[in-house]
Amino acid sequence: MNHFYLMIKSFHAVKVVISVSKKVSKKAVIRNRIRRRVRPIARTFISNLKPATYFIVAKPGAEKIKGRALEAELAELFKKG
């Protein structure tokens, strides 16, 4: 199951934006935890990306995915984009 989706908009530089809405969790602690898990993984892919703005949007259930599974899912997202 996909816990994230990726939107890409043209831009003059590589920019990664992580969005976690209140639909995922009402608690800010959980939303921030998801961002903290995604951010270092996304940094590993920045050097391979074309100049654009990459919006990573979390879906409900994203708080349950961790570690290698999260890394694999983000890698698949960036491959498609």
Give the domain ranges of the chain.
4-80
- pLDDT digits 0-9 by tens, 57-69: 999 999 999 899 9
For residue 16, which phi and psi values (nearest 5 degrees)?
Answer: -115, 125
- pLDDT digits 0-9 by tens, 30-43: 999 999 999 999 99
The reply to whether CATH 3.30.230.10 applies to domain 4-80 is yes
d(C-alpha 63, C-alpha 29), whole Å: 11
pLDDT value for 1? 65
**pTM for the full predicted model:** 0.89
DSSP codes, 43-80: HHHGGGSPSEEEEEEEPTTGGG--HHHHHHHHHHHHHH
